[in-house]
Amino acid sequence: MIKVIIVDDEPLAQDVLETYVEKFPELSLVQKCNNALEANEVLKNQDIDLMFLDIQMPQLTGIDFLKTLTRPPLVIFTTAYPNYALEGFELNALDYLLKPISLERFIKAVNKAVEQIKLQRNEPGSVSANAAEGGDHPDYIFVKADKKLVKVNYHDIIYIEGLKDYVIIRMENQRVITLQTMKSLEDKLPAPRFKRIHRSYIINIDKINAIVGNMVEVMEKNQPKHLPIGKNYRDELNDMIEKNKL
């Protein structure tokens, strides 16, 4: 079982998350906490695997609380404020859910968490149980390519390109081609570090050089490369840009 706590000062938000958690037989809700101090007591006395953590709370914000923890569980931020996304990423949050949280988006986040926990526990059924090296927040993924499992570090990825049932993971000095869909890979990559900008492209936010009209500019082989922004992904990307624009 995966032990879960919910930390949120809004009873309605707690109830929504509890209802969603109950839909997953592998998740066990240990406690609903009204603030960070209550959550801290739970974490001191129990081994918690996953924490749904609100940001705007009285006494101590979710971000400040996470900074106090030396060995935090996996964290999925839940908030009504998109401007905290990048700070959440810097704290190695697994995902960032904007309220009101849809069930579809919740399922996507939990699937990432389950996969990550399987990797930590070295359980069968993970991306690579034999290759997993443990650690609280792995910074890599293993993909099947050329009849072997290739380790790909997140920070090396520039962007990912989809070609029917294959994806190409493009890095500075190499590329990895693997047989899987964009959707399956998107579900495994940590948000908001990676963002889908087009049905055929996922971008590493760290590698964005500029936004040029309806294109994202990255550097590939020391040359600017322009990737299209799909109309179904434009609003979400623009929201992120607006919240972090001077």
Question: Exposed (0-12), middle (13-18) or buried (19+): which is 167, by Cβ within 10 Å?
Answer: buried
Q: For position 246, what pLDDT does the model report? A: 62
Q: For position 84, what pLDDT does the model report? A: 65
Q: Which helix (H) or strand (E) holds 66?
A: helix 62-68
Per the listing, tokens 């240990």 go with 30
Q: Which amino acid is at 34?
A: N
Q: Which amino acid is at 40?
A: N
Q: For position 88, what pLDDT does the model report? A: 61
pTM score: 0.55
Tens of pLDDT, residue by residue, the chain (246 residues)? 899 999 999 999 999 999 999 999 999 999 999 999 999 999 999 999 999 999 999 889 999 999 999 889 999 999 887 776 666 656 778 888 989 999 999 998 998 888 888 877 765 444 444 433 444 456 888 888 877 888 899 999 999 999 877 899 999 888 999 988 888 888 888 877 899 999 999 999 989 999 998 999 999 888 899 999 998 888 888 877 776 666
Q: Are 219 and 209 within 8 A, CB to CB?
A: yes
Q: For position 198, what pLDDT does the model report? A: 94
CA dihedral 123, 134, 26, 11 (to 10 degrees): 180
C-alpha distances (whole Å) from 127 to each of 101, 151, 188, 192, 223 are: 27, 11, 9, 20, 33
Q: For position 133, what pLDDT does the model report? A: 41
Q: For position 216, what pLDDT does the model report? A: 94
